[in-house]
Amino acid sequence: MPKKVREMGIVIGTLSTGEKNCITDVAGVRVGHVTLDEKMNQDGAYACTGVTAILPHEGNLFQQKVTAASYVINGYGKTTGLVQVNELGVIESPIMLTNTFGVPAVTQGTLQFMLDTNSEIGLLTGTINIVVGECNDSYLNSIRECPITPEHALEAIRKASTETAEEGAVGAGKGMMCFGYKGGIGSSSRIVTHGSTNYMVGCMVLSNFGQSSDFLAHHYVATSGQSESTISPTDGSIIIVLATDAPLSNRQLTRVIKRCSIGLGRTGSHFSHGSGDIVIGFTTAHRIAHQSDELVETRTQLREDHPIMNQLFAAAAEATEEAILNSLSQAQTTIGRNGHKVEAYEF
């Protein structure tokens, strides 16, 4: 079975990981995957793609929203919902990941799930903001055939679990590439500590960026028997999802998730022109009721100048870097559309 890089002796940074070294180390966070890996028709079309759902907590996300933010490192992407996330500072739906042309179907499926579980949406209250991120998997996936359906989004949400999330060529990561090798889903976590207080930071990436020559592999292994790949994504991208239980305002959360770009850069990315490099972050420390008669609401947040903020910055960078490496180390060689083959990277 493919291993996380830490199991191979590659240690990123100085902070300790959570028990699962996964985004689900943040209590209540759930992840579900649906993976498509099948021939579609007699013309050779091939579905090599999927959907990944990340749910911030186990309750009703519309009725109990979480503080959230997003940060665009490079804006060559087709996400939905981020304008409202940044305006209001909350997320009220599962965070969904898929391929570029799968965004409409995944949005529809997620919307259906939220409508089914909240009968008042659009009638007794306002509408809902669905968040979907994407990367282009067209080298391996017959993306023009649009194999993703709304039901796949519903299935990924239903499968969501707090267990250690599967990584590599699964879910939305099935057809993705990273530095010309097989990429996809990767995850990692970090613990930040002050006295007897611990906070968890978890990261999950959908990696689909970079050329082989960009990868700073020598930072992790002295030598590698891996030959240089000549494959590069048509439009490389990465979606980074950062979760924490630290009590942060959405402005403070924005500061933290900006540091994910450091972890991305350490692997060798230079945020290329055609790359949609986007971070979505949330904290589970606050549950914000959809409706309330109160004039004022009170939330707790960390002091801006407390040293623990620097730990959170470091945790975001370290977890992102390690999650990207895990997306490589756990992905398996994959054959997809027109017999295209992408090799796994051997650390």
- What is the per-residue pLDDT across 281-338, written as a single tens digit (0 to 9) for each? 999 999 999 999 999 999 999 999 999 999 999 999 999 999 999 999 999 999 999 9
Cα distances (Å, whole numbers) of residue 134 to 33, 145, 259:
14, 16, 21
pLDDT of residue 276: 94
Q: Which two tokens stand for residue 116?
A: 């089914």
Catalytic residue among 188, 189, 269, 275: 275
**Which residues lie across from 68 on neighbouring strands?**
282
Q: Which two tokens stand for residue 300?
A: 């707790």
Catalytic residue among 237, 249, 269, 327: 237
Active-site residue, 277 included: yes
CB within 8 Å of 80: residues ≥ 6 apart: 103, 107, 130, 131, 132
Sign, CA torsion 153/155/158/163: negative
Active-site residue, 212 included: no
| Rounded Cα–Cα distance for residues 264 and 142 (Å) | 28
In total, the chain counts a number of residues equal to: 347
Catalytic residue among 37, 137, 235, 277: 277
Q: Where do we find the tokens 């770009």?
A: 261
Active-site residue, 269 included: no
Q: What is the pLDDT of residues 3-59, one digit of tens each?
A: 999 999 999 999 999 999 999 999 999 999 999 999 998 777 999 999 999 999 999
Report which residue type is found at 47.
A
| Rounded Cα–Cα distance for residues 84 and 89 (Å) | 8
DSSP secondary structure letters along 81-115:
SHHHHHHH-EE-S-EEEEEGGGHHHHHHHHHHHHH
Confidence class for position 227, pLDDT limits 50, 70, 90: confident
| Rounded Cα–Cα distance for residues 338 and 142 (Å) | 9
Q: Quick check: 101 and 146 in contact, CB under 8 A?
A: yes
pTM check: above 0.95: yes
Write b or e for each residue in 25-38: b if 16 or more Cβ atoms lie within 10 A of its Cβ, otherwise e. Answer: bbebbbbbbbbbbe
**% of the chain with per-residue pLDDT over 70:** 98
